[in-house]
Amino acid sequence: MSLPMRFLIGDLKIIALVFALALLTACSGGQKRTASISLSGSEAALKQTLYGHYREWASIPYQYGGLSKSGIDCSGFVYLTFAKKLGVHLPRTSDRQAQTGKPIPQQQLRTGDLVFFNTGPQQHHVGIYIEQRRFLHVSTIKGVAISSLDNQYWSDRYWKSVRVLSS
């Protein structure tokens, strides 16, 4: 192999390594942050926004790591919903989202709160509370859906709730 080619391959390896490290640090844990903002509209307007977003995404399939209408995962849906509809930047993963905001008891849930579930060993699922014990999320079976916290599957796996929006 020629000397210039060795330098080119070496440079490409360094670029690939830097890119990989940047991705890992963007998705890795860090210090706990609170991303609490005040809502400018009423809770009714927020509900309307969330239901409208649901209608746009209803039945889009689940895809691990997905972030588009061809497939999306639960934390990606929460991430996109808050960024595009509410102008709030949240972390991309459910574990990091669970560390954001203020923990609240399930009995005090309000529209826009995040609800978390233990769905497997070291696996967490996240959704957005709407109203009347219903939450918006991405189901591995149904895709983007609205489910009830009273459904036995979800009530058995409920872990915690956090508030990232303040009114």
Condensed to tens digits (0 to 9), the pLDDT of residues 38-70 reads: 444 589 999 999 999 999 999 999 999 999 999
Q: Does residue 58 sit in the same domain as residue 139?
A: yes
DSSP secondary structure letters along 133-149: TEEEEEETTTEEEEEET
Element containing residue 72 per DSSP (H, E): strand 71-72
Of 107, 103, 52, 108, whose CA–CA distance to 116 is shortest?
A: 103
Q: Does residue 4 sit in the same domain as residue 64?
A: no
Of 158, 162, 26, 22, whose CA–CA distance to 97 is shortest?
A: 162
pTM of the model: 0.76
Range of the domain at 51: 33-166
Name the residues annotated as catalytic.
Answer: 74, 125, 137
Q: Does residue 127 sit in the same domain as residue 109?
A: yes
The reported pLDDT for the residue numbered 105 is: 98
Q: Does residue 45 sit in the same domain as residue 19?
A: no
Of 166, 142, 163, 164, whose CA–CA distance to 153 is shortest?
A: 142
